[in-house]
Amino acid sequence: MFELYQEVCEECSTLITKRYSTSFSMGIRLFAKELRKPIYGIYGFVRFADEIVDTFHDYNKGDLLQQFRQDTDKAIDLGISLNPVLQAFQKVVNDYNIDRELIHAFLDSMAMDLTDDMQYDKVLYEKYIYGSAEVVGLMCLKVFLKGNEEKYLKLKDSAKALGSAFQKINFLRDIKDDYYGKGRTYFPGVDVSLFSDNDKVVIEEDIKKDFDFGLSGILGLPSSAKFGVYLAYKFYYNLFQKIKKTSYNEILDKRIRINNGTKLYLLAKYSVKNTLNLI
């Protein structure tokens, strides 16, 4: 019956992923079957932690996040949790030997979001990106490589770069909501009220460097994971190109996004290339 309990918990993380992110759930379905449950388990964990700081405004979010951190550590230590998301996640952590430092760095970044009206300098900016995005890529890399530590060390920096690119695009796309809704500016030294298209170009050049390095790592992934990660890369790169063509004033007026029709087109296009071994 324990197997049934584990299966139900993993189905919870799968449902969370599908309800919250069409892009990531589409990419995960392209992984080899044995990789899907552990990646869903990671996504369910990071999604719920993010919900604590971004959604539960009528509750003491600091207390909730601290309890979530304690429950996470306890679940990993004991190998069991009555929280379905943490049960699915602890199994991934223990099965794939995911470093506890990565998990704590992620939760530290979530705690940084508890403070509104926050201006990030370079040190805090890099710390936040590492904890909120890069470590998630590293957790997934552990799953993709199934314990191959030599390959992990080789691809580690490129995985971090890809996570960094994704997060910086989110920052740029959501700059209006972050600044006017939360008083928060992630980009160091940026005054949103004085921001210009020239400032936007500087940020975009930095994102492009992360993208290029991240792509080199994707091409080194095993075939069981490569196409799914590559598609996520293409989704974000398409969003990046759309943002580049949009003036800063337009970004402040509307949220730039990629519609599902475009995602299906990209899926079909790159599925053909993948079949022909052109990726």
What Å distances lie between residue 216 and 26, 158, 180, 239, 254, CA to CA? 22, 7, 36, 19, 32
Lowest average pLDDT, out of 79-88, 135-144, 191-200, goes to 191-200
Which fold would CATH assign to domain 2-275?
A: Farnesyl Diphosphate Synthase (1.10.600)
Tens digits of per-residue pLDDT, 81-138?
999 999 999 999 999 999 999 999 999 999 999 987 677 889 999 999 999 999 999 9
Per-residue pLDDT at 276 exceeds 70: no
Q: What is the pLDDT of residue 41?
A: 98
pLDDT band at 254 (very low <50, low <70, confident <90, very high): confident
Task: Return the domain boundaries, the chain.
Answer: 2-275
Tens digits of per-residue pLDDT, 3-56?
999 999 999 999 999 999 877 888 899 999 999 999 999 999 999 999 999 899
**% helix, strand, coil for the chain, step of 5:** 80, 0, 20
Predicted TM-score (pTM) of this structure: 0.92
39's tokens = 């990646």
Spatial distance between the Cα atoms of 60 and 64, rounded to a whole number of angstroms: 6
pLDDT band at 250 (very low <50, low <70, confident <90, very high): confident
Assess contact for 247 and 181: CB atoms under 8 A.
no
Phi and psi of 185, rounded to 5°? -125, 115
Spatial distance between the Cα atoms of 76 and 267, rounded to a whole number of angstroms: 36
Residue type, 261: G
Query: How much is the average pLDDT of 210-239?
Result: 95
Lowest average pLDDT, out of 7-21, 55-69, 251-265, goes to 251-265
Lowest average pLDDT, out of 6-10, 12-16, 204-208, 254-258, goes to 254-258
Scan for tokens 């994971």, then name that residue.
225
Spatial distance between the Cα atoms of 186 and 259, rounded to a whole number of angstroms: 26
